[in-house]
Amino acid sequence: MSELVQAHAVHRDDFGARLGMWLFLVTEMVLFGGLFIAYSYMRSTYPADFHHAGAELNATLGVTNTLVLLTSSLTVALSIVAIQRGDRLKSMAFLSASLLLGLTFLAIKATEWAAKFHHGLYPNAPHLATLPHGEQVFFGLYFTMTGLHGLHVIIGLGVLTYMLIQVARGRICQDRYVQLENAGLYWHLVDVIWIFLLPLFYLAA
Amino acid sequence: MSTQNTTLPPSYLVDTGSRKGLLAWLTSTDHKRIGLLYLGSMLTFFFVAVGLGLVMRLVQISPFEHLITAETYNALFTVHGVIMVFLFVVPGLPAVFGNFFLPILIGAKDVAFPRLNLASWYFYMAGATVVIIALFTGHGAPDTGWTFYVPFSLHTGTNVSLAVFGAFLLGFSSMLTGINFITTIHRLRAPGMRWFRMPLFCWALYSTAWVQILATPILAITLVLVILERVFGIGIFDPTKGGDPLLYEHLFWIYSHPAVYIMILPAMGAITEILPTFARRPVFGYKAIAYSSMAIAGVGSLVWAHHMFTSGLSQVAVMIFSLLTMIVAVPSAIKVFNWVSTLYKGSIDFQPPLLFALTFIFLFCIGGLTGVMLGALAVNVHVHDTYFVVGHFHYVMFGGTGMAFFAALLYWFPKMFGKMYSKKAIYASWFPIFIGFNMLYFTMLVLGVMGMPRRYFHHLPRFDTGHDIATVGSWILVLGLLMFFGTLVHALFKGEKAEDNPWGGVTLEWTIPSPPPQENFEEIPTITTEAYHFPQEEIG
C-alpha cells in the first residue's frame, strides 16, 4: 500500500507538463493579442501617421535583433538535443550561448530606447506632444509592446539561467528533460512575438 | 467506525507530515486543503463586501442619509464590486469545489500540478492583499466602479493603480487554476472514465477553464495599460493624445463578459450534480448539458459589446451583438429544461441542497430573462445604467452563482468536513434569504424601470418607497445569511458525524470516507458505467 502511494508521489507525466506549458503559452498569446488588437485599431485610424512614425525607427537594428533572437532560439533547441544525447557540457554551452544572445538583444534594445529618449520620443515628452496624434499613439504602443516583450526576455533569461543550473546539477538529464523543453517553448514564444513586432513597428514605414 | 478500523488511511484534515497546524495548511499541496484555504478566505471577503453593501443600502433611507459622504459612497460601490466580483464570484465555485472535488470526481489523487495549485492560492491572497492595501493608502479607495472606465480612472486621484494591479494578480491566479484543471481532466481521469462518463460538474469546470485561459489575459493586458497610462501617459486610451476611451471599454468587456460565464458555468455544473442525486434519476440529456456548457463558453465570448449599446457603436454592430446575446439564452435554457426534466417523475427526496438548487433555478430564470430584455436594444437604451441593470446582475451573480455556491456547500459539506448540519436550521434560514433577496433585488428591477440611475448617492423623493423596501429587504437577507452560516459553523464544531454517503449519491466522492483520506482513493477506481447510474434503474 505505502509503496503504491510512493509510486504515485513520484508519478511523472511529461505529456501533461508539456500540455500545461502549451496552455500557458496560449494565455501569453492572448495577452499580446490584446495589444495587437489595440495596434490594428489605431493603425487603421491613423495609417499615415504610423507610416511617418515608423520611419523614425532603425530597421537595421530591428533586423539585427531579429537575427540575434532567432539564433538564440536555435541554440536553445540544440541544448535540448544535446541533453537528449546525454551530452551535458554541450547542452550547458548552448544554453550559455542563448543567454549571451539574449543579453545582446537587450543591449541593442536599450541603445534603441536611449536614442528615442534622446530625441524626445517617449510618452509625456514635450516634443512628442507636438507631433500628430497618430505618431503619439504609435510611440505609446511601441514602448508598451517592446517593453512588455523585453520584460518577457528578462524573465526568459532568468528561466534559462535556472535551467543552466539544473543541467549543471544533473537535475535535468538524458531521461528527464521536460523542464528544459518547456523553458525552450517559452523562449520560442518570446521569439515568435518579436517576429510579429518587427514588421508592425520597424517595417511600418 | 474509523477508530475501530485502523487500516483506514488518515483523513486529509489530520496532519501527518513533519509540519503541524497552520504551517501544515499553508504549505500543503493537497487539493482538498487548498480548496478549504480558498473557502475560508473567500467567505471572509464575502462578508466584508456584504457589510459594504449593507451600508450602501442604509444611506438610501432618510434617517441615515448623512451617515457617509458622497465620495465614500463612490468608494463603497467600487470596493463592494471589486471584492464580490474578483474575490468571491469569479474564483468562487472552481477554486473551492473544483479544487476539492474535480480530482475525486474523475478518480484521481490530486490535480495535475499540485504545487502550481498552491501557488494559485498565494497569487489570490497576494491580489487580495494588494486590493485591501489600496483601500487604505494613497489618496483613498478607488471610486471608479469595479469597471475602472477610462477616462475617469486615468484622472481620479484615488488609488486606482494599486487596486488594478491587485486585480491583475487575481487574474493570474484564475488563469493558473484554468491551466491546471484542463490538464487534470485531460491526463488524470481514472481508467474507464471516458469523456462522456464524467460527472457534469467536470464538464462545467472544463469549459470554464477554457474561458479562464482565453479571456483573462485580455483583462490582464487592459489593466496593465491602465497602469501604464496613469504612470507614464502612453496615450492609448487618452483622447488628448490620439487614444480612444472606447477601446478600453471593448478590451475590458472582451474579458469581463466571458467572465460572467466563468462565474455561472461552474454554478450550473454544481446544480447538475445535486438534482439527479435528490431525484434518484440520471440527469436528463447528459450530452445536451455537456455541449451546452461548451456552447455557452463559445457564444458567450462573442457578446461583449452589449454592455456598450449606448456608447455610439454602429447600428450594424449593435444588431449583431444583440442577436448573439439572444442566442446565448438558448444553451442556458437547454440546461433549465434539462434540470426540470430530470426532476420530472423522479423519486424526490427533499433535502436542504435541493431546496437551494431549486432556488437557484428560480432566481437564475429571473436573472436570465431580464438579461434577454437587456439584450434587446430598445429596452436596453431605456434602462441603461439604471437599477434594472443592478437588479439583473444581482439575480444572476447572487441568485445564480451565490445560491449555487450555497447549494454546493450544503451538498458537499458532510463530505468535506465529515459533519452534518441541522437541516431544520437551514430550512429556517432559507425563508429570510429568499424573502429578503427578492424584496431587495426585485424592487431594484422596478426602480430601474421607473428610472432610478445606478451609483447615485441621492435619489428623487418619488423613489423613496422603493428604496425603503429594498433596504428592509437587505436586512432580512443578511439575517438569513447569518443564520445559514451560523448553522454551518455550529455544525463544524458540534455537528453529528456524517455518513459516507448521506444523500445516496452515486458519483465517486460518495464511495470514499467522509472526510476523504489524504490520497482520496486507496486504489484508483475503474469506471464501468455512465455517470448518475442509480441502482434502482437496474431493478426497474
Q: Radius of gyration (Cα) for chain A, nearest Å?
A: 21
Phi, psi of B80 (to 5 degrees): -55, -45
Residue B536: per-residue pLDDT: 59
Q: Does B355 touch chain A (CB under 8 A)?
A: no
Residue A8: per-residue pLDDT: 46
Residue B227 lies in a domain: yes
What's the domain range around B278?
Answer: 22-538
Chain B residues closer than 8 Å to A37 by CB: 250-251
Residue B157: per-residue pLDDT: 85
Cell numbers that stand for B294 in this block: 461548451
A119 pLDDT exceeds 70? yes
| Mean of pLDDT values over B277-299 | 91
Interface touch A123/B522, C-beta < 8 Å: no
What is the DSSP track for A113-143? HHHHHHTT-STT-HHHHHS-HHHHHHHHHHH
What is the spatial distance between Cα A12 and Cα A160, in angstroms, rounded to a whole number?
A: 22
The H or E element containing residue B56 is helix B31-58
Q: Does A2 touch chain B (CB under 8 A)?
A: no
Q: Does B313 touch chain A (CB under 8 A)?
A: no
What is the spatial distance between Cα B102 and Cα B35, in angstroms, rounded to a whole number?
A: 11
Q: Does B519 touch chain A (CB under 8 A)?
A: yes
Interface touch B241/A129, C-beta < 8 Å: yes
Query: Structural domain tally of chain B?
Result: 1
Q: Does A130 touch chain B (CB under 8 A)?
A: no
Cell numbers that stand for B336 in this block: 433549465
Rounded to 10 degrees, the C-alpha dihedral B411/B415/B419/B420 comes to 30
DSSP state of B94: I
Chain A interface disruption, residue of B172, B229, B234, B254, most A CBs within 10 A: B234
Q: Does A24 touch chain B (CB under 8 A)?
A: yes
CA-angle at B475, arms to B473 and B479, nearest 5°: 115
**Helix count (H) and strand count (E) of chain B?**
19, 2
Task: Decide which of B156 and B440 is more confident.
Answer: B440
Q: Give the minimum alpha-carbon distance from B179 to chain A in angstroms, rounded to a whole number.
A: 6
Q: Does A124 touch chain B (CB under 8 A)?
A: yes
Residues linked to residue B453 through DSSP beta bridges, in sequence order: B386
What is the spatial distance between Cα B396 and Cα B390, in angstroms, rounded to a whole number?
A: 10
- Upper half-sphere CA count for residue B357 (Cβ side, 13 Å): 28
- How distant, in Å, are the alpha carbons of B221, B517, B528 from that of B523? 44, 12, 15
Q: Does A150 touch chain B (CB under 8 A)?
A: no
Interface touch A28/B241, C-beta < 8 Å: no
Q: Does A145 touch chain B (CB under 8 A)?
A: no
Cell numbers that stand for B325 in this block: 446575446
B294 pLDDT exceeds 70? yes
Contact A163, A183 (CB under 8 A): yes
pTM: 0.93
Contact B503, B277 (CB under 8 A): yes
ipTM of the complex: 0.91
B242 closest CB neighbour out of A1, A13, A46: A46
Place of cell 429596452: B379
Cell numbers that stand for A182 in this block: 518547456
A140 closest CB neighbour out of B215, B218, B236: B236
Residue B16: per-residue pLDDT: 82
What is the DSSP track for B109-161? SS-S-HHHHHHHHHHHHHHHHHHHHHHHSTTSS--STTTT-TTHHHH--SSHH
Q: Give the minimum alpha-carbon distance from B306 to chain A in angstroms, rounded to a whole number.
A: 19
Q: Does A137 touch chain B (CB under 8 A)?
A: yes
Residue A60: per-residue pLDDT: 94
Residues of chain A with pLDDT > 70: what percent?
A: 95
Q: What distance, in Å, lies between the first and last C-alpha atoms of chain B?
A: 33
CB atoms within 10 A of CB B203: 26
DSSP state of B517: B
What is the spatial distance between Cα B343 and Cα B280, in angstroms, rounded to a whole number?
A: 9
Which of A4-13, B199-208, B457-466 has the least mean pLDDT? A4-13
Among B373, B265, B310, B388, smallest CA distance to B149 is for B310
Chain B residues closer than 8 Å to A45 by CB: 244
Residue A6: per-residue pLDDT: 40
Residue B71 lies in a domain: yes
CB atoms within 10 A of CB B213: 22
Interface A–B counts its CB contacts (< 8 A) at 105
Interface touch B519/A8, C-beta < 8 Å: yes
Q: Give the minimum alpha-carbon distance from A145 to chain B in angstroms, rounded to a whole number.
A: 10
Contact B418, B515 (CB under 8 A): yes
B496 pLDDT exceeds 90? yes
> Residue B7's pLDDT band (boundaries 50, 70, 90)?
low
Chain B interface disruption, residue of A1, A144, A155, most B CBs within 10 A: A144
Q: Does B119 touch chain A (CB under 8 A)?
A: no
Q: Does A136 touch chain B (CB under 8 A)?
A: yes
Cell numbers that stand for B392 in this block: 439583473
Among A124, A131, A146, smallest CA distance to A50 is for A131
Per-residue pLDDT reduced to its tens digit, B505-535? 999 999 999 999 998 998 899 998 888 888 7
Phi, psi of B346 (to 5 degrees): -80, 165
What is the spatial distance between Cα B282 and Cα B276, in angstroms, rounded to a whole number?
A: 6
Q: Give the minimum alpha-carbon distance from B220 to chain A in angstroms, rounded to a whole number.
A: 7
A142 pLDDT exceeds 90? yes
- How distant, in Å, are the alpha carbons of A3, A200, B80, B417 from that of B357? 42, 52, 26, 21
Which of A61-70, A165-174, A193-202, B132-141 has the least mean pLDDT? B132-141
Per-residue pLDDT reduced to its tens digit, A156-183? 999 999 999 999 999 999 999 999 999 9
Residue A182: what residue type?
Answer: N
Phi, psi of B13 (to 5 degrees): -80, -15
Q: Does B114 touch chain A (CB under 8 A)?
A: no
Q: Give the minimum alpha-carbon distance from A149 to chain B in angstroms, rounded to a whole number.
A: 12
Contact B306, B321 (CB under 8 A): yes
Chain centroid to Cα B7, Å, comes to: 39
Chain B residues closer than 8 Å to A140 by CB: 234-236, 241, 243
| Mean of pLDDT values over B489-516 | 93
Q: Does B218 touch chain A (CB under 8 A)?
A: yes
A7 pLDDT exceeds 90? no
Q: Which residue in A has a C-alpha nearest to residue B222's C-alpha?
A: A34
Cell numbers that stand for B351 in this block: 433535502
| Mean of pLDDT values over B12-31 | 88
Q: Does A30 touch chain B (CB under 8 A)?
A: yes
**Strand, helix or coil for residue B84:** helix
Residues linked to residue B386 through DSSP beta bridges, in sequence order: B453
Q: What distance, in Å, lies between the first and last C-alpha atoms of chain A?
A: 69
What is the spatial distance between Cα B126 and Cα B128, in angstroms, rounded to a whole number?
A: 5
Kindly give the interhelix angle for B200-232 and A133-168, rounded to the nearest 10 degrees: 120
Rounded to 10 degrees, the C-alpha dihedral B262/B268/B269/B274 comes to 150
Chain centroid to Cα A26, Å, comes to: 14
Kindly give the interhelix angle for B286-299 and B315-343, rounded to the nearest 10 degrees: 160
Residues linked to residue B95 through DSSP beta bridges, in sequence order: none
Interface touch A141/B236, C-beta < 8 Å: yes
Chain A residues closer than 8 Å to B242 by CB: 42, 46, 49, 132-134, 136-137
B187 closest CB neighbour out of A19, A140, A148: A19
Contact B383, B448 (CB under 8 A): yes
Residue A5: per-residue pLDDT: 42
Interface touch B221/A23, C-beta < 8 Å: no
| Mean of pLDDT values over A28-44 | 95
Residues linked to residue A176 through DSSP beta bridges, in sequence order: A173
Mean pLDDT, chain B, as a whole number? Answer: 92
B66 pLDDT exceeds 90? no
Residue B34: what residue type?
Answer: I
What is the DSSP track for B334-397? HHHHHHHHHHTT------HHHHHHHHHHHHHHHHHHHHHHHHSHHHHHHHTTBHHHHHHHHIII
CA-angle at A91, arms to A87 and A94, nearest 5°: 145
**Strand, helix or coil for residue A176:** strand
Q: Which residues of B121-143 are buried (b: 16+ CB within 10 A; e: fewer)?
A: bebbbebbebbbebbeebebbbb
What is the spatial distance between Cα B498 and Cα B356, in angstroms, rounded to a whole number?
A: 20
Interface touch B179/A148, C-beta < 8 Å: no
Residues of chain B with pLDDT > 90: what percent?
A: 75
Residue B11 lies in a domain: no
Q: Give the minimum alpha-carbon distance from B312 to chain A in angstroms, rounded to a whole number.
A: 16
| Mean of pLDDT values over B93-118 | 95
Residue B7 lies in a domain: no
B470 pLDDT exceeds 50? yes
What is the DSSP track for B157-197? -SSHHHHHHHHHHHHHHHHHHHHHHHHHHHH-PPTT--GGG
Contact B68, B76 (CB under 8 A): yes
Q: Give the minimum alpha-carbon distance from A111 to chain B in angstroms, rounded to a whole number.
A: 20
Residue B15: per-residue pLDDT: 85
Q: Does B366 touch chain A (CB under 8 A)?
A: no
Chain B residues closer than 8 Å to A5 by CB: 519
Chain A interface disruption, residue of B115, B229, B236, most A CBs within 10 A: B236
A10 pLDDT exceeds 80? no
DSSP state of B510: G
Contact B365, B332 (CB under 8 A): no
Residue B56 lies in a domain: yes
CATH value at residue B355: 1.20.210.10
Q: Give the minimum alpha-carbon distance from B210 to chain A in angstroms, rounded to a whole number.
A: 9
What is the spatial distance between Cα B46 and Cα B484, in angstroms, rounded to a whole number?
A: 14
A136 closest CB neighbour out of B116, B187, B241: B241
Q: Does A41 touch chain B (CB under 8 A)?
A: yes
Q: Does A44 touch chain B (CB under 8 A)?
A: no
A198 pLDDT exceeds 70? yes
Phi, psi of B386 (to 5 degrees): -115, 180
Per-residue pLDDT reduced to its tens digit, A75-106? 999 999 999 999 999 999 999 999 999 999 99
Residue B297 lies in a domain: yes
Residues linked to residue B11 through DSSP beta bridges, in sequence order: B517
Residue A140: per-residue pLDDT: 94
Residue B116 lies in a domain: yes
CB atoms within 10 A of CB B431: 13
Interface touch A37/B222, C-beta < 8 Å: no
B20 pLDDT exceeds 50? yes
Residue B2 lies in a domain: no
